[in-house]
Amino acid sequence: MLEQLKQQVYEANMELTKLKLVSFTWGNVSGIDRKAGCFVIKPSGVEYERLQPSDLVVVNMDGQVVEGKLNPSSDTPTHLVLYKKFADIGGIAHTHSPWAVSFATAGRDIPVMNTTHADTFYGDIPVSRQLTKKEVESGYEKNTGNVIVETFKNRNLANNQVKGIVVRQHGPFTWGDDPLEAVYNAKVLETVAEMDYHTLNLNPDALKLEKYLLNKHYLRKHGASAYYGQN
């Protein structure tokens, strides 16, 4: 079932390796078919070199495997929470890319300091709070999803304008209209994290992007008045 989506999710997972966003098996991508009420996700612990579309696992919105011989990613409950709470997203990517993890470990937002960032993310990429001992010991992966949703709610962020987060002491999750966009956003997030790291080392007092320049770069690529690219 969902063979076309499986192929798309497979290709998105393979993009993680091509873009050097993952080492070993440290990452996963999923994609959802909302009409079918199921999503497709990478199996747990399978090396990318061995991965085939037929290995991917189909999971329903109750978190139950409905097709697949392998165990789904251990991050499946996180993906499930995000699909339920962010009803407009079509794909999710998770990596442990080093520059993004550096901000997650430091407990810092990835600030919007340049137009490269503003082309994709409408503002700072937030860092979540740390999970509590209870949250880790009782439903760790589900609570990871919950803390992502909580962060967006508490900070009044729109998940369709800032399509990513760094979970404190863990790493980045990104999403998009489909799995490939989720991976694209993961690469942009990693790139701007590296840029910001170097910027803040060169000049700890460097200024964040002015709102008028943020608006110009984001809105020329997104929304009704966008004019970047070809019709």
Catalytic residues: 119, 228
Q: Which helix (H) or strand (E) holds 159?
A: none
Q: Give the integer Cα–Cα distance in Å for 150 and 80.
A: 15
The residue to which tokens 């860092």 are assigned? 127
d(CA 196, CA 107): 14
Sequence-ordered alpha helix ranges (H) in 155-210: 179-202
Centroid of chain to Cα 156 = 18
- How far apart are alpha carbons 31 and 178 in whole angstroms? 6
Grouping H, G, I as helix, E, B as strand and the rest as coil, residue 191 is helix
CB neighbours of residue 51 within 10 Å: 17
What distance in Å separates the CA atoms of residue 8 and residue 139, rounded to the nearest whole number? Answer: 29
The one-letter amino acid code at 193 reads: A
